[in-house]
Protein backbone atom coordinates (compact mmCIF):
# COMPACT_ATOMS: atom_id res chain seq x y z
CA UNK A 1 0.00 0.00 0.00
CA UNK A 2 1.10 3.57 -0.68
CA UNK A 3 -0.54 6.93 -0.06
CA UNK A 4 -0.63 9.07 -3.19
CA UNK A 5 -0.95 12.83 -3.04
CA UNK A 6 -1.46 15.55 -5.65
CA UNK A 7 0.12 18.86 -4.60
CA UNK A 8 -0.63 22.11 -6.41
CA UNK A 9 -0.05 25.48 -4.74
CA UNK A 10 -2.48 27.47 -6.90
CA UNK A 11 -2.85 30.62 -4.80
CA UNK A 12 0.44 32.33 -5.78
CA UNK A 13 1.96 30.32 -8.62
CA UNK A 14 5.41 31.84 -8.97
CA UNK A 15 6.04 33.19 -5.48
CA UNK A 16 8.85 31.19 -3.85
CA UNK A 17 7.83 32.03 -0.29
CA UNK A 18 4.24 30.95 -0.90
CA UNK A 19 5.33 27.71 -2.60
CA UNK A 20 7.69 26.94 0.33
CA UNK A 21 4.90 27.51 2.85
CA UNK A 22 2.54 25.38 0.77
CA UNK A 23 4.97 22.43 0.60
CA UNK A 24 5.85 22.77 4.29
CA UNK A 25 2.10 22.62 5.09
CA UNK A 26 1.87 19.39 3.08
CA UNK A 27 4.79 17.87 5.01
CA UNK A 28 2.97 18.69 8.24
CA UNK A 29 -0.31 17.30 6.90
CA UNK A 30 1.29 14.03 5.77
CA UNK A 31 3.49 13.50 8.82
CA UNK A 32 1.00 14.56 11.49
CA UNK A 33 -2.41 13.79 10.05
CA UNK A 34 -2.59 11.28 7.23
CA UNK A 35 0.50 9.09 7.21
CA UNK A 36 0.39 5.95 9.30
CA UNK A 37 3.79 4.53 8.41
CA UNK A 38 2.76 4.06 4.78
CA UNK A 39 5.08 5.03 1.90
CA UNK A 40 4.27 8.34 0.22
CA UNK A 41 4.05 8.89 -3.52
CA UNK A 42 3.44 12.39 -4.87
CA UNK A 43 1.82 11.33 -8.11
CA UNK A 44 1.04 14.80 -9.43
CA UNK A 45 2.59 18.19 -8.82
CA UNK A 46 4.11 21.23 -10.42
CA UNK A 47 5.96 24.16 -8.93
CA UNK A 48 4.98 26.31 -11.89
CA UNK A 49 7.54 28.66 -13.49
CA UNK A 50 9.81 29.39 -10.51
CA UNK A 51 12.92 27.18 -10.64
CA UNK A 52 13.73 27.95 -6.99
CA UNK A 53 10.31 26.56 -6.06
CA UNK A 54 11.17 23.38 -7.96
CA UNK A 55 14.49 23.06 -6.11
CA UNK A 56 12.84 23.61 -2.74
CA UNK A 57 9.91 21.30 -3.41
CA UNK A 58 11.98 18.43 -4.80
CA UNK A 59 14.53 18.86 -2.02
CA UNK A 60 11.70 18.58 0.49
CA UNK A 61 10.31 15.46 -1.18
CA UNK A 62 13.82 13.97 -1.15
CA UNK A 63 14.41 14.90 2.50
CA UNK A 64 11.10 13.29 3.47
CA UNK A 65 11.94 10.14 1.51
CA UNK A 66 8.87 10.58 -0.69
CA UNK A 67 8.70 9.13 -4.17
CA UNK A 68 7.39 11.44 -6.87
CA UNK A 69 6.68 11.99 -10.53
CA UNK A 70 5.90 15.26 -12.22
CA UNK A 71 2.84 16.08 -14.24
CA UNK A 72 3.34 15.30 -17.17
CA UNK A 73 5.88 13.92 -19.61
CA UNK A 74 4.57 15.75 -22.71
CA UNK A 75 2.27 18.76 -22.79
CA UNK A 76 0.87 21.18 -25.33
CA UNK A 77 2.00 24.66 -24.40
CA UNK A 78 5.47 25.91 -25.23
CA UNK A 79 7.76 26.05 -22.17
CA UNK A 80 4.90 25.05 -19.89
CA UNK A 81 5.90 24.04 -16.38
CA UNK A 82 3.47 21.13 -16.71
CA UNK A 83 5.63 18.97 -18.97
CA UNK A 84 9.15 17.71 -19.47
CA UNK A 85 8.62 18.04 -23.20
CA UNK A 86 6.48 20.83 -24.60
CA UNK A 87 5.02 21.73 -27.95
CA UNK A 88 3.43 24.95 -29.18
CA UNK A 89 -0.33 24.83 -29.01
CA UNK A 90 -2.23 25.98 -32.06
CA UNK A 91 -5.96 25.96 -32.60
CA UNK A 92 -5.46 23.66 -35.60
CA UNK A 93 -3.87 20.95 -33.44
CA UNK A 94 -6.20 21.03 -30.45
CA UNK A 95 -8.93 18.43 -30.64
CA UNK A 96 -12.42 19.61 -29.81
CA UNK A 97 -13.70 16.51 -28.05
CA UNK A 98 -17.27 17.85 -28.13
CA UNK A 99 -17.51 18.77 -31.81
CA UNK A 100 -14.74 17.04 -33.79
CA UNK A 101 -15.46 13.67 -35.35
CA UNK A 102 -13.62 10.58 -34.16
CA UNK A 103 -11.50 10.70 -37.32
CA UNK A 104 -10.56 14.36 -36.78
CA UNK A 105 -9.62 13.76 -33.13
CA UNK A 106 -7.59 10.72 -34.15
CA UNK A 107 -5.79 12.72 -36.84
CA UNK A 108 -4.98 15.59 -34.46
CA UNK A 109 -3.76 13.30 -31.69
CA UNK A 110 -1.74 11.18 -34.12
CA UNK A 111 0.62 14.06 -34.89
CA UNK A 112 1.59 14.27 -31.22
CA UNK A 113 4.95 12.57 -31.67
CA UNK A 114 8.39 13.27 -30.26
CA UNK A 115 9.28 15.28 -33.37
CA UNK A 116 6.85 18.03 -32.40
CA UNK A 117 8.13 18.43 -28.84
CA UNK A 118 11.05 20.31 -27.33
CA UNK A 119 12.90 19.36 -24.16
CA UNK A 120 11.82 21.70 -21.36
CA UNK A 121 15.35 22.33 -20.12
CA UNK A 122 14.44 24.24 -16.96
CA UNK A 123 12.12 21.52 -15.63
CA UNK A 124 14.11 18.55 -16.92
CA UNK A 125 17.40 19.86 -15.55
CA UNK A 126 16.07 20.38 -12.03
CA UNK A 127 14.40 16.94 -12.05
CA UNK A 128 17.59 15.37 -13.38
CA UNK A 129 19.69 16.96 -10.63
CA UNK A 130 17.39 15.49 -7.99
CA UNK A 131 17.24 12.08 -9.68
CA UNK A 132 21.05 12.10 -9.85
CA UNK A 133 21.36 13.03 -6.16
CA UNK A 134 19.18 10.08 -5.22
CA UNK A 135 20.96 7.49 -7.32
CA UNK A 136 24.17 5.54 -7.42
CA UNK A 137 25.09 7.06 -10.77
CA UNK A 138 28.58 8.56 -10.77
CA UNK A 139 29.01 9.75 -14.34
CA UNK A 140 27.95 13.14 -15.67
CA UNK A 141 25.22 11.82 -17.94
CA UNK A 142 21.84 13.33 -17.11
CA UNK A 143 19.78 10.47 -15.70
CA UNK A 144 16.44 11.27 -17.19
CA UNK A 145 14.27 12.44 -19.98
CA UNK A 146 15.86 12.05 -23.36
CA UNK A 147 12.81 11.66 -25.58
CA UNK A 148 11.22 8.39 -26.56
CA UNK A 149 14.14 6.49 -24.99
CA UNK A 150 13.93 8.19 -21.59
CA UNK A 151 15.47 6.41 -18.65
CA UNK A 152 12.46 5.71 -16.49
CA UNK A 153 14.15 4.17 -13.50
CA UNK A 154 17.36 5.52 -12.03
CA UNK A 155 20.34 3.19 -11.97
CA UNK A 156 19.33 1.05 -14.92
CA UNK A 157 18.97 1.45 -18.63
CA UNK A 158 16.75 -1.59 -19.11
CA UNK A 159 13.62 -1.36 -21.27
CA UNK A 160 10.42 -0.31 -19.54
CA UNK A 161 9.02 -3.87 -19.73
CA UNK A 162 11.90 -5.13 -17.59
CA UNK A 163 11.72 -2.26 -15.13
CA UNK A 164 7.99 -2.52 -14.48
CA UNK A 165 7.96 -5.81 -12.71
CA UNK A 166 4.33 -5.33 -11.83
CA UNK A 167 2.82 -8.11 -9.81
CA UNK A 168 -0.93 -8.59 -9.99
CA UNK A 169 -2.92 -10.96 -7.82
CA UNK A 170 -6.28 -12.27 -8.82
CA UNK A 171 -9.00 -13.75 -6.66
CA UNK A 172 -7.32 -17.14 -6.42
CA UNK A 173 -4.01 -15.57 -5.32
CA UNK A 174 -2.00 -16.43 -8.41
CA UNK A 175 0.53 -13.77 -9.35
CA UNK A 176 1.84 -12.96 -12.74
CA UNK A 177 3.95 -10.20 -14.18
CA UNK A 178 2.87 -7.55 -16.65
CA UNK A 179 5.09 -9.17 -19.28
CA UNK A 180 3.38 -12.53 -18.79
CA UNK A 181 -0.05 -10.90 -18.96
CA UNK A 182 0.80 -9.21 -22.26
CA UNK A 183 1.62 -12.61 -23.78
CA UNK A 184 -1.72 -14.17 -22.84
Write out pLDDT tens, residues 115-168.
Answer: 677 888 888 888 888 876 766 655 554 444 444 443 444 444 444 343 333 333
Query: Residue 53's pLDDT band (boundaries 50, 70, 90)?
Result: very high
Q: Which pLDDT score, from 0 to 100, does residue 17 have?
A: 97
Contact 127, 84 (CB under 8 A): yes
Stretch among 32-46, 50-64, 82-96 having the lowest mean pLDDT = 82-96
pLDDT at 51 over 50: yes
Contact, 102 vs 88, CB < 8 A?
Answer: no
Residue 175: pLDDT over 50: no
Across the range 23-34, mean pLDDT stands at 92
* 36/161: higher pLDDT: 36
- In 3-state terms, what secondary structure has residue 175? strand
Q: Which residue has the higher pLDDT, 111 or 70?
A: 70
Across the range 19-47, mean pLDDT stands at 90
121 vs 91, residue with greater confidence:
121
> What is the Cα–Cα distance from 129 to 134, expressed in whole angstroms?
9
Single out the residue of 137, 150, 154 nearest to residue 68, CA to CA: 154
Query: Among 44-58, 79-93, 105-119, 149-163, which is the least confidently predicted range?
Result: 149-163
Range with top average pLDDT, 17-21, 92-96, 138-142, 155-159: 17-21
pLDDT at 169 over 70: no
Average pLDDT taken over every residue of the chain: 73
Reduce the DSSP state of residue 176 to 3 states and report it: strand
Amino acid sequence: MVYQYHFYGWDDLNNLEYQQEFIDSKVTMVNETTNHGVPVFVGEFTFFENEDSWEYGLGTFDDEGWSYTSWTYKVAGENSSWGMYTSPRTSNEVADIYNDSFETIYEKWSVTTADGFTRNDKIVDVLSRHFKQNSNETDDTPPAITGEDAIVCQGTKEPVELIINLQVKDDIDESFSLKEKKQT
